[in-house]
Structure 1
Amino acid sequence: MEPAAKSLTEFALGCMLEPEERAATLSCTDEGHLLVRVAGETMTRTDGLLVCTENLVVRPLARRMQGRVVPEVFARLAALEGDGYLVLAHQGERFHVVDLEGDLCFFVEPYLWAMDAGLLWDVGVVPGTRRDRPIPLVRAAGEGMLAFRVPGRLVAIKVADDRPIRIARDRLVGWVGAVVPRADPEGPFLRCEGEGAVLVWFPRAPADGSSAPS
């Protein structure tokens, strides 16, 4: 005998989104979407917005370079103020949420999705790319969380003084530690040296098991 169907009220209560119960300012829903809780101020993109409480104010965010505000609007991130939340769709990609815990890190700007307002940050480019297809960077440090989204599998590659690595420039997501990436003038690669870990993304294998495109 099949169990009796739930009432619509019971069904709604059973699948209700309750962001107030989540202590973290940034987290992922069971489906992999990004949940951003705003209590005061936070910085986030609004691409793929699914749900947003109306008691939030969005204002442009000025870019910072070398610790100073510059007269240029951050095209991707905006400042949200108020007390509420929003949910951003993964759009077929994967969100990752990390707590910096005082670490200094760098992220390629298009992959960065949200940051706690208390983090110290500024922008720049990967050395050697300013003239030819610049790779924009966001440097973040301090205590707080940030979220980024990648289209494939995220992998960390160890870099050591005696073991520099070379990666495809369009796979770089970011790095942590004393890593120094530089554009390779001989091809579409970045040479990374120093001490730390580089974050890159690998393409996913196709569902039918055929060879994956590059």
Structure 2
Amino acid sequence: MNPLARRGGTHEVEGLDEEFLFHLSRGTELIGAGDADGARAALERARTLRPKDVKVLGLLGQAYYRLGRFEDAGDVWQVLVDESPVEPAARVNLGLARLKAKRHADAARQLQIALDLNPDHRKAMGYLGLALLEGGDPAAARAWFERTGAEHMIARCDALLAGPAGAEEEAAPPVAVADEGAPGEPLPAEQLEPLATPVPVADLAAEAPLSGSDAFDAASAALAAEDERAAPPAPIAQASPPALSAWAASRVLALEGAAPFAVQDGVLAVAVRGELRVRLEGLFAIRGQVALAGDVKRFRGRVTETPFGQGAARMYHASGDGVLLLRAGDRRLTALELGGEAAYFREDAVCGLDAGLAFENGRVPSSAGELNLVHIRGQGALLVASRGEPVAIDVVPGTPVRLPLTALVGWTGALTPRLGPLADEAEGAPLAVELTGEGRALADPEAVAEGGGGGTP
């Protein structure tokens, strides 16, 4: 239950929605009118109300970009990419922001992914060529300019590849491009503009336009759709393969972060600095010096001989100094900071525990099955796996919450679990857990998306 709804009925929630829509509509109108700073202020306020709204993220990134705040634009569009990883337009805008911020390897990487998603995206080809050229790889850049038919950019690459003689020719003032709007001709770097709206065109068409922003939304969708209808690229056979160094540089994983658990493009990076616990399912590389030993369960303060997990899903104690790289697969991995609190999680949902966390295994038995739990407390980060993004459900005294075991992630607060059927007297009802007391249940709606009600895990 939403705490706002409990205190003030629906009016406060409706007021919150109205405030969000006002700031989003205002920001949309201002950015359409060319007032980037005014749009930024309105959209930043809208983002505080809905941090992951795709329209807010897309437009706020544009406002930052037009203000020359390219790092901020890239950071906002990175969130949008995380939320919509298969949307090429979001990747193109992120790559463009990184290009303007002179982060050429990051730009090339995002633009290459955009082209993996949509091989015919001509703007992505041109921007990738610029990122490679400015990053010092004219040979790889030339291959992409060939595919777009950008003759003056091909000539620039040829001059650089020709050596000193070509460099002298390149040093001369460039010839003005009279047909900058011609198909395939990328604009000069200082005139590069992001796509109108880096969110799926289908999403824009499906949503009702906000009051006062009909024209801008329609223009945004039309621009994005027009980009997809651009003329086909030159035959692939005419392009040279990318240089190995640039290709590898565009795919380098960022491994130097401070967090113990980080997910990047489907790869889980586990930073071992001393010791921690992690399941090794999907392990494909170990960087540095890391020792691994199978971990065991702890019951009532005693260390047992029972393995913590089985097979590839067993929990391991990792020690040393290095990074473990694991394939995230189709799991959604969420890193959380416990911050001195205590919580219960379903045992198979826990994938990693920082060194500062203490844990104890437990179970809730019943005649129909059992629920295996991990009680975690202390200071540090933990890693939780689910099928979709978890949600929280308030539990208040006198109002229990019941959910199938497959949907349970865990809970916080003073809650008591009891196992039973999800629906009384319903034939074939799955085994469920009923939580009573005061706290919050953490649930995974996607875990029952296919089965309708879930089953016994």
SS at match of 1:12: helix
Query: 1 CA distance for matches of 2:298 and 2:259?
Result: 26
Tell me the CA shift for residue 205 of structure 1. 9.9
Question: Cα 1:145–1:92, aligned 2, differ >3 Å: closer, same or farther?
Answer: same
| Aligned pair partner of 1:138 in 371, 374, 378 | 374
Query: 1 CA distance for matches of 2:401 and 2:432?
Result: 10
Query: 2 CA distance for matches of 1:77 and 1:204?
Result: 22
The answer to whether the 8 A contact 2:407-2:448 is kept is no
1:24 lines up with 2:263 in the alignment: no
Query: 2 CA distance for matches of 1:141 and 1:32?
Result: 28
Tell me the CA shift for residue 69 of structure 1. 1.3
Question: Cα 1:84–1:169, aligned 2, differ >3 Å: closer, same or farther?
Answer: same
| Aligned pair partner of 1:161 in 374, 387, 397 | 397
SS at match of 1:19: coil
The answer to whether the 8 A contact 1:32-1:95 is kept is no
% identity of equivalent residues: 31
Task: Provide Cα deviations, 1:98-152, integer angstroms capped at 9, x if missing partner.
Answer: 00001101111111111112211110013xx255422111110010001011123
Equivalent position amino acid for 1:26 in 2: F
Counterpart mapping for 1:163-178 below 5 A: 163-178=399-414
Structure (1/2) with the larger strand percentage: 1
Tell me the CA shift for residue 191 of structure 1. 1.3
Task: Provide Cα deviations, 1:23-56, integer angstroms capped at 9, x if missing partner.
Answer: 1111211x24321100111100001113222621
What is aligned with 2:388? 152
Query: 2 CA distance for matches of 1:46 and 1:131?
Result: 32
Query: 1 CA distance for matches of 2:308 and 2:334?
Result: 21
SS at match of 1:101: coil
1:98 lines up with 2:336 in the alignment: yes
TM-score, normalising length: structure 1: 0.86
What is aligned with 1:197? 440
Higher Rg of the two aligned structures: 2
1:180 lines up with 2:423 in the alignment: no
Query: 2 CA distance for matches of 1:80 and 1:59?
Result: 7
Counterpart mapping for 1:29-178 below 5 A: 29=264, 31-53=265-287, 55-75=289-309, 76-126=314-364, 129=365, 132-178=368-414
Equivalent position amino acid for 2:409 in 1: V
Query: 2 CA distance for matches of 1:199 and 1:24?
Result: 23
Bigger relative CO (Cα 8 Å, ≥ 6 apart): 1
TM-score, normalising length: structure 2: 0.42
Stretches of structure 2 that go unaligned for 5 or more consecutive residues are 1-124, 130-137, 142-242, 453-457
Tell me the CA shift for residue 162 of structure 1. 3.1
SS at match of 2:281: coil
Question: Cα 1:54–1:97, aligned 2, differ >3 Å: closer, same or farther?
Answer: same
SS at match of 1:15: coil
- Number of residues paired by the alignment? 205
The answer to whether the 8 A contact 1:67-1:121 is kept is no
Query: 2 CA distance for matches of 1:163 and 1:38?
Result: 42
Question: Cα 1:159–1:48, aligned 2, differ >3 Å: closer, same or farther?
Answer: same
SS at match of 1:53: strand
The answer to whether the 8 A contact 1:153-1:204 is kept is no
Structure (1/2) with the larger helix percentage: 2
